[in-house]
Structure 1
């Protein structure tokens, strides 16, 4: 079952339904983007809202952050400049992906992913807009 976030008349799935694939973005070769190689402003993300996830690969891979924003270029650009995020480069490359999720569903998707993935950074970055009391909306994580 797929959530159709782009249709105004379709409500989100109630909590407890099967997680949906929301189309995590990859590069033209089908790989997830390395954070330090991605140029968010030249990737067509200016003013585009959605949910984004960062993680690092290495001996002990970990989820780093899950957020939602009205401007993916700004949020991902800020993450690239964050010493806190960049500190994870020492453990393996930091990767990022995003999904275009309608604003009214973003907080629910983030709530579900934060509960499921337990990212290392659990506070909210300045460019993000997350209602922490949102009802979780089940989605498949990147992978």
Structure 2
């Protein structure tokens, strides 16, 4: 099967989100139970951030903060880059998935419906995209 859109990658997986006031311990428990590395942070139905394992480690634990007293809002990445559910997989990679960050919230009609991870992208897509970037760079260097 050829995967064409972000929605096809998400498939029927359940969507789990957090409220900004929840603790990092609660967030970590949700991540562990769902076997995911990041969760969307939603307030009043609106995406306000994304919280990744890396955020928890770097912004809280490594700073000596206790996971039971730090809120998601204190450690999350606010206003993350997003992608639409109907966008092609190449758009996620072009949005720096894998380079600048490892997770992208996915929107449908402005509402968050999931989070796509770099590890969700099939290896053959990653290889093709990298080859395209290499070739595009080579052609850009050839112009006078």
Check whether TM > 0.5.
no
Higher relative CO (CA 8 A, sep ≥ 6), structure 1 or 2? 1
Structure ID, larger Rg: 2
Give 1 or 2: higher strand fraction.
2
TM-score between the two structures when normalised by the length of structure 2: 0.32
